[in-house]
Structure 1
Amino acid sequence: MRKIIVLMLITCSVFIMGCTQVGQRGSVEDFALVSSVALDYVNDKEMRMTVSIPQPMGESPVLTEVYSANTEMIQEGLVAISSEADKMIILNQLRTILFNEEFAKSGKMNEVIEHFYRDSTVGNKVRLVIVKDNAGDILKADYPENEHMDAYLNDLFQPKLHNSFSPFTTVQEYMNTQTSPIFHTMIPYLEKKEKSLKITSIALFDDEKMIQTITNHESLLIQALIGIHKLSPMAIKFKGNEHDQQLFLEQIKNDLKVKSNKSLESPELSISLKLEGVVVEYQGKRDLSNADESKKLEKEISKHIKKEIEDLLKKLQELEVDPVGFSENFRMHHKGKWTEELTQKLIDTTEYKVDVEFKILNTGTIK
């Protein structure tokens, strides 16, 4: 019995050693860990793929190596770049995927993102970005104040209070909105300004194609309509107002209430926003130490934001998109399967009633 047990142990040991040798993994030096991938539209079949690979400090004269290849398929492109880099390209550390605007408008972007979504080595928190011109040039450019380009790009797309106007769309969030009959997709729109990068606007998608951009301020209003409780700072410039010129708000808190009449035939939606914040700077004729004057300014701010929201809702109706997901307020009362056609009908026919109430918590510098 003891001989049989010893024989089995020896056999298992040999088997395990054999498997280890056959399936042995290479060392980390054999792999190139991609941090960012940029994709530029070439034609209906081909795209230009550019990857950036961060290098360890002190081991390379450059902090980021960049490689490019034309390809018809993602995996084909990665293999081609691997042969050029003399290392196997892997996506375990992928953080950002950039598409140029032409790619986003071609309708080809969806199948590419689906490929990354299905890849088990790619995390669902990878950020998506639309670039105005050439996406590959973003990875190849020098940024004197941010030598480590990949860290700079990653930090740029990390949500912070001052930039909460942007949705900072991940691969997971993109797939959620693309497969939902309720929501339309939004993705940050990036431009290179001299020697730095800036999110200049937000790209709107109708189905799989980018159709237009909206301003960062409009995106901030969308975040308020979605129900984000703490909003990023907001600048307000009054027009045709003899008492108030402009002001800047911080520490803005938002309390949103949305109610529908549940009707698909004559849909109506009541939107109520109760906002409060600190007036950090103010230019105008009012003495805000006076309670009555402060109340009058609150009414002017409320009226101004209400008008901006009404204009935005009208614009979204004309574009026939609903990035807020207002249709959900009707879907929850609907019996039966919800379709994209029902969402489209609501976008076209919904009447909005908007009410905004702003309260000044404190004041800062007054001019």
Structure 2
Amino acid sequence: MPDKKTVFHLLIILLLLTACAPTREIERLGIIHTLGIDVTDDGQQIETTMVIFQFDEQAATLTKNVIGQGKTVRGARNDASNQSAYHLASGQMQLQLFGKEAAEQGILPYLNMLVRDATVSDTMFLTVTNQTAKEILTTGRELTEINIGQFLYGVIEQEKNEHKIPRSDLQMFSRTYFEPGQDPWLPVMDIEEELPAIVSMGIFQDDRYVGELSLKEAFYLNLFINKIAPAPLELSLPREPFQDYMPEKNNDSEESLDIKIQLKGNTKTKLVDKEELRYQTNVKVQFRLDEFSEVIVVEDEKVAELFEKEIAKKMEEEYGSLLRKLQDMQSDPFGFGKYYRLQKKNGEMTSDEWRELYPDISVDFNVDAELIHYGTIQ
């Protein structure tokens, strides 16, 4: 039979174990869906613009924007919370948007807070804007009839699912940043035709935004990094090789043939000469002809092979131009540094070491293009 002292201690432990966590009425909560980050004009503080869900039945809309400033993201969030009637919680955050100036200074300090927050999903999308995050979120809210945060999230998700851009979530950015030999990327959003849209792909050197790629170049980056399902691609080919297969003779001065194809494929890369820093990238794609700027009859293997040859040649040229552009930016989103690092002793290499070598690499891009369906196309 336990004595009274033991029973007393057991009762205290039982009371502690059954204590309730602090609760808040849902009407008093503002659930953060989207977080925009800018630096203030004087560069001394951070300004956050948050899209929150509010569950107050007296509110006119389900969502609203709240703004705060502080020395840190958490401080700016607390400032916004103090100015509103809601306690801000980050449990449903799905998108973080960085203003251009903040991104150019480096976004790692802002990501550190997210990584340490157990309530934040590592699949949350990250994006950059050519304006300020505040402008995109406030202007976008006026232009769209739905939650601007959900709208932006849906735009990014659709482009990713259609294989037009590579993944751009917190997990992917963090993994790429912390792996020497590869630099991150994020989509760039702007107001286009009175709606927020992805207009380019932002390229980073470590965690700093240093330039951007066109959406076609973003597609090539995605094809290099991932195996992709059929996705649309537009190309301009030389017109002259196809003239004999054009039933409607065109005597104008056009020198190019614009085509739209559906393309799927993947790439394989290897370092073939470590001393000369020479790589070989084999790109294997299958494509279907969708649309031409002129009528072309594709009814035998000879014409099909001509398309395969010209498309492969064009893609090799564009990959070469893209690599030179990235070397000028001193950014390696392709990840050629990873292949070099794997051939070093113990696989060790610093980012600074690769920065010195990267401008001198050469890559042989070999595209194997296969036409999988053809007929008379206009």
Whether TM exceeds 0.5 here: the answer is yes
**CA separation in 1, counterparts of 2:277 and 2:17?**
67
Gaps of 5+ in 1: none
Is the contact made by 1:157 and 1:168 (CA closer than 8 Å) also made in structure 2? no
When residues 341 and 78 of structure 1 are mapped into structure 2, their CA distance, relative to the original with a 3 A threshold, is: closer
When residues 57 and 192 of structure 1 are mapped into structure 2, their CA distance, relative to the original with a 3 A threshold, is: farther
The equivalent residue for 2:180 is 181
When residues 63 and 192 of structure 1 are mapped into structure 2, their CA distance, relative to the original with a 3 A threshold, is: farther
Residue 143 of structure 1 and its aligned partner are, at CA, apart by 5.5
Match of 1:115, as an amino acid? M
Is the contact made by 2:163 and 2:228 (CA closer than 8 Å) also made in structure 1? no
Matches within 5 A, 1:65-80: 65-80=64-79
**CA separation in 1, counterparts of 2:45 and 2:7?**
59
Aligned: 1:246 with 2:258: yes
Match of 2:111, as an amino acid? I
The CA deviation string for residues 118-162 of structure 1, in whole angstroms up to 9 with x for no partner, is 222222112111111121122223355542323212212215566
What's the secondary structure of 2:83's corresponding residue? helix
What's the secondary structure of 1:327's corresponding residue? helix
Is the contact made by 1:36 and 1:96 (CA closer than 8 Å) also made in structure 2? yes
Residue 187 of structure 1 and its aligned partner are, at CA, apart by 0.7
Match of 1:253, as an amino acid? K
**CA separation in 1, counterparts of 2:356 and 2:85?**
54
What count of residue pairs does the alignment treat as equivalent?
Answer: 361
Moved more, 154-163 or 321-330: 154-163
Match of 2:94, as an amino acid? R
Moved more, 289-298 or 200-209: 289-298
Match of 1:88, as an amino acid? H
The equivalent residue for 1:295 is 305
What's the secondary structure of 2:47's corresponding residue? strand
Matches within 5 A, 1:86-101: 86-101=85-100
Identity %: 19
**CA separation in 1, counterparts of 2:56 and 2:310?**
54
Aligned: 1:366 with 2:368: no
The equivalent residue for 1:280 is 290
When residues 350 and 16 of structure 1 are mapped into structure 2, their CA distance, relative to the original with a 3 A threshold, is: closer
Q: RMSD over aligned Cα, in angstroms?
A: 2.5
**CA separation in 1, counterparts of 2:358 and 2:87?**
48
Is the contact made by 2:297 and 2:375 (CA closer than 8 Å) also made in structure 1? no
Moved more, 153-162 or 296-305: 153-162
**CA separation in 1, counterparts of 2:356 and 2:70?**
40
The equivalent residue for 2:108 is 110
Residue 11 of structure 1 and its aligned partner are, at CA, apart by 5.0
The CA deviation string for residues 190-241 of structure 1, in whole angstroms up to 9 with x for no partner, is 0012431110001111123211111010011111222423252111122564
Residue 253 of structure 1 and its aligned partner are, at CA, apart by 2.1
Match of 1:245, as an amino acid? L
What's the secondary structure of 1:53's corresponding residue? strand
The equivalent residue for 1:311 is 321
Is the contact made by 1:280 and 1:363 (CA closer than 8 Å) also made in structure 2? no
Matches within 5 A, 1:10-159: 11=12, 14-16=15-17, 19-20=19-20, 23-42=21-40, 43-56=42-55, 60-107=59-106, 109-141=107-139, 142=141, 146-158=145-157
Matches within 5 A, 1:121-270: 121-141=119-139, 142=141, 146-158=145-157, 160=159, 163-230=162-229, 232-239=231-238, 241=240, 243=242, 245-250=257-262, 252-263=263-274, 265-270=275-280
